[in-house]
Every structure is written in C-alpha cells, then in structure tokens.
A and B are shown apart, each in its own frame.
Chain A
Amino acid sequence: MAKSKRFFMYLFLSIAAFVSIFPFLWMVVSSTNQSVDVTRGRLLPGTHLMENLRKLLDTTDLQVSLMNSAKISITTTLLALLIASLAGYGFEVFRSRSKDIVFNILLLSMMIPFAALMIPLYRMFGQISNVFPWMGIDTMTSVILPTVTTAFLIFFFRQSTKMFPKELLEAGRMDGLSELGIFLRIYLPTMKTTYAAGAIITFMSSWNNYLWPLIVLQTPQTKTMPLLISTLGSGYAPDYGMIMIAIVIGTIPTALVFFVMQKHFVAGMIGSVK
C-alpha cells in the first residue's frame, strides 16, 4: 500500500514536471529546425539555428526591440526600487496614524484593474504629447510612468523594513547622519536581499508587460520584445523556426534572472504575503 502510494506520488510529480518543462524544450528544439519540420512535429534538434536567427535579424528590428525592452525594464526597476523602498521605509520608520491611513488607501490601488485605467491613461498621455512630445504617447516615459510605482512593492518594502534593526538607526542618528544619509548608507546596504527580490519581481513584470505597451507604443522603433513576438505570431504564413528563436531570445533575460536569483525570487514572493 505505502509503496504503491509512493509510486503514484513520483509518477504524478514527474508528469507535472514534464508538462511544465515540455513547452520550453519544444521551443528551444524548434528554434533549431526549419518551419516545415516544426509543423511535422520534429522533436530532435536541427541545424537551422543560425539560419533562423539570420532570417529574424533580416525581417525584424530585433536589436531595436531588445534595446527598448532592456532600457524600459532596467529604468523601471531602478526607479521602482528607489521610490518603493523610500516609501516602505518612510511608512515604517516614521510611523504615524495619518500615514497608516494613507498607506491603507495606497493598498486599495492593488484592487484596481488595469482595464479601468488604460483609457484615461491613454488620454492623459495623449494630452501630454501635445505639450511635451518627449514624454507623451510612443515614448519610453509613457510606458514607464504608470507602472513604476506599485502598492505591492511599497507593501513588500514596508514588511521587510520591520526586520531592519532599529539600533542601527539610533547609531546613525548619534553619528550625526541625516535621515536620508541613514537610509542611503545604512538601510540600503543592509537590505540587499530585499532589493534583490524586489528587482527580480519588477524586472520580470516590466520585461513581460504587453497590454500597456501595445496601447502606447505605436511605431516599429519603439516596439518591445513582447510586441515583436506578438506580431510575428499573427502572420498568415508563419515561419515557425524563426518565431521560436525570437521567443527563446525574449525569454532568456527573465529565465537568467530567475536562475541566478532563484532563492531571492521565492523569498520575495513569499515576503509579499507574510
């Protein structure tokens, strides 16, 4: 009885693991095959990787999209960490009743669906375009600004700040450091892991963001990777090998971030509910 139970346990987990991994394997294998072989269901690696890559480079602005995605994601991540950690620190260290009320109001924003925001935001940036074209529709700024501050990240930093030893704060004040100095010179280096977890979460969601960039980015020169992949996939005679290499390239940054910082990632997600 116990033995057969063990067996089914391993069988079930193996199937679950296989189903989870299989689409990745197929995507990587397909990126080395010709389009016909992909449709024929070939599951072995082929020799057409470079050819697929060349086709992708010739028919799309791959480098431009990669650069756009990198610029947007890195800028978003840095700004998001700065803004949210300052706020999380502020709400916790300088705690007051009025700040708690404001904090709870901020948390309510997590319940607001993006669907309800996209039209007013689009109109807002349309109006900005008339005055400051450099930060209006079709610019990096218009992608970054609405997504750079999330109540979730502020909440995450506030929760982590609870673990920050208050003696360090006192020590900093005794040494005559300014409040901002304490934050930058003591808090920031101490909370490295929190920053790492926050960075992964923000980078991933920014790199993978689709709907808002789809609305505001309108020219090929501003396209991001998800937008590029989406347009490649919608053609009538798709070149499967070429599309798969595009998807592989688009997935590498987030997969790398995940594998290098796996522990922080999980810690970050969990820190968010505790």
Chain B
Amino acid sequence: MHQTNSKLRFRTKSVLTGWSFVLLAVILIFVFYFYPMLQALILSFQTGTGSNLTFTGFDNYSRLLSDKTFIVSVKNTFIYLLVQVPLMIILALFISVLLNDSKLRFKGFFRTAIFLPCVTSLVAYSVVFKYLFSGNGLVNTMLLKLHLVSAPIEWITDPFWAKITIIIAITWRWTGYNMIFYLSALQNIDHSIYEAAKIDGASSTRQFFGITVPLLKPIILFTSITSTIGTLQLFDEVMNITKGGPGNATQTISQYIYNLSFKYAADFGYAATVSYSIVIMIALLSVIQFKVAGDKNG
C-alpha cells in the first residue's frame, strides 16, 4: 500500500514536471493565436465602427460577395499565387539540381549569392526595388541602353507591369530560401540511383522527372504550402513598392484588411470577415495540395 502510494506520487510528480516545461509555451500560443482566432470569428459577425459593434449575423459575409474591392484583392492575390509560386519552385528546383552537380566549381559562392536575398527585410528590399523599377530607374535605363525597349516600361504605374514588378520582387527574395530545402533533400538521395539510370541510358531530363522530382515530393509539398500561406498574406512588398496602386491593381487581401481597420473608418467586424476569407483559402488550398501530392504518390 505504502509502496504504490509513493509510486503514484512519483508518477504524478513526473507528469507535473513534464507539463510545467511546456506550460508557458502552451499558454502563450493559446492566448496569442487561438484566442484571437476565435475573437476574429466572433467579430466577423458584428458590424460597426471602432468598438461600437453589434451582432448582425451573416451580413458581413454577404457584403463580401458584392464588394468589388475585395474581389479585386482576391483576384490580385491569386494572380501572384498562380504565377509566382510555380515559377519560384521550378526555378529553385532547377538551380538546386545544378548546384548539386558533384563536378561543379564555385559551389559555395553560387549558393551563398543566391541565398543572400533572404537576409534583407521585406521592407528594405521593397524600397530598393521600388527605385530600381521606377520610371527613370536603373532597370529602364539599362533596358534603353541595351535597346531592348524603345520607351521606358511603366513598371510601377501601369496595372499590368506593376503586378509583374511585385512578382519579380517576391521571386528575387524567396527563390534562394526554397533552394536550400531542395539542396539538402538532394544531398540525401543515394547517388547510385542516378548511376543506374545512366547505365540504362536515361537522359538528364528523364532523370530529373523520373528520379529527382518524385523523391523530392514531400519537400516540394512543404515549400508549396509555406509559399502559398506566405503569398496569401502578402503585405510588406505591395505596401512599399506600389501602395496597392495604380488604383487597386496590386492590392492584396492583407492590405485590404489593413486599410479597412486602420486607414478607413475602422470597420473591425468587416475586416475580420475578410481575414477569415484568408483562413478558409489557406485551409482549402492546403487540403488540395496534400491531395494532389498524395494521389501522385499512390
């Protein structure tokens, strides 16, 4: 009796010690992630300015569907997503395969150079890009001098080119980041697989699609999900390069939420509804990406 009691006390004590190690982190994540998440959900059913909010049911959600600015922001965000994420992933994969070549020289230099953009703050590089791509900026000057264009391109002020500028900027910043993940995964692939393929006469293109891509699938899935989540929340670049303009041509959903809450008449309820649209999109797209990757595995 006495012995089981002390055993029990020892077990309880060890369980308590275990929980005490993780407690602070658990509390902080619940207070600063899950609780606000719930608050945002409640807010999304309320309308009013500032803190004068009243429950109005699904009013905000029906407003969402007829809100032209919201629809434009969603469209813009999806253009970035559909063009930039595949472009960046393919580019990163391609570079990492080249860098993984055992005979390649200056490997360290290339890797460091291509990874370098990741050390800049989104704001700092955005400002640099804004000036590089301005009407009389360096990019236009160079293009004119090389006679590649006859008139300067309106990188920032034309709705089409402004989107291209944003896409170029994000690709510059994040390609190296994704490349590192692929490089590390490539280093774990057994070289003899490639040797065998070579003996069988497989071209390097076939080796790439037949060996590299399938083996890297989990990492490609990981990077495409993180890039999707990142792109759906795009804010810093657009805010600092184009301010969302011209008109609303480059505005993203995050920027619209910011404007609704802190620039216009502080419509927190509706802004929360818009923010939930991102939550829903992330959930849906992640499920789709898991499904697509899963199907090809099976």
Which positions in A face B, CB cutoff 8 Å? Answer: 9, 12-13, 16-17, 19-21, 23-24, 26-27, 38-39, 41, 83-84, 86-87, 89-91, 93-94, 96, 99, 102, 106, 109, 111-124, 145-146, 148-149, 151, 154, 179, 183, 204, 207-208, 210-211, 215, 225-227, 229-230, 232-234, 238, 240, 243-244, 247, 250-251, 254-255, 257-258, 262, 266, 269-270, 273
Contact = CB atoms under 8 A, between A and B. Distances in A.
Given A17-B113, A117-B40, A269-B181, A225 B29 contact: no
A158 to B, nearest CB: 10
A238 to B, nearest CB: 8
Given A26-B132, A84-B25, A86-B24, A119 B110 contact: no
B39 A123 contact: yes
A94 B12 CA distance: 12
Interface in B86-121: 95, 98-99, 101, 104, 109-110, 112-121
Contact of A119 (B109, B141, B181, B272): B272
17 contacts: A13-B104, A13-B110, A20-B172, A20-B176, A39-B137, A41-B141, A84-B25, A87-B24, A117-B40, A121-B36, A149-B32, A208-B120, A210-B123, A215-B262, A270-B180, A270-B184, A273-B222
A16 B109 CA distance: 12
A102 B262 contact: no
Interface residues of B, number: 88
Contacts of B20: 90
B43 A115 contact: no
B292 interface: no
Contact of B32 (A26, A115, A121, A251): A121
Given A111-B282, A233-B127, A13 B99 contact: yes
B138 interface: yes
B275 interface: yes
Interface in B131-170: 131-132, 136-138, 141-142
A261 to B, nearest CB: 11
Nearest to B134: A39
Contacts of A210: 121-123, 235-236
Interface of B: 14-15, 17-22, 24-26, 28-29, 32-37, 39-40, 43, 51, 95, 98-99, 101, 104, 109-110, 112-132, 136-138, 141-142, 172, 176-177, 180-181, 184, 219, 222, 229, 232-233, 235-236, 239-240, 243, 253-254, 257-258, 261-262, 268, 271-272, 275-276, 278-279, 282-283, 286
B179 to A, nearest CB: 10
A19 B172 contact: yes
Nearest to B283: A111
A251 B113 contact: no
Nearest to A256: B119
Contacts of A112: 33-34, 37, 279
Contacts of B233: 113-115
Contact of A39 (B118, B136, B184, B253): B136
A26 B128 contact: yes
Given A39-B136, A116-B279, A154-B25, A251 B141 contact: no
A86 B110 CA distance: 37
B101 A9 contact: yes
Contacts of A17: 109-110, 113-114
A52 B113 CA distance: 27
Contacts of A273: 181, 219, 222
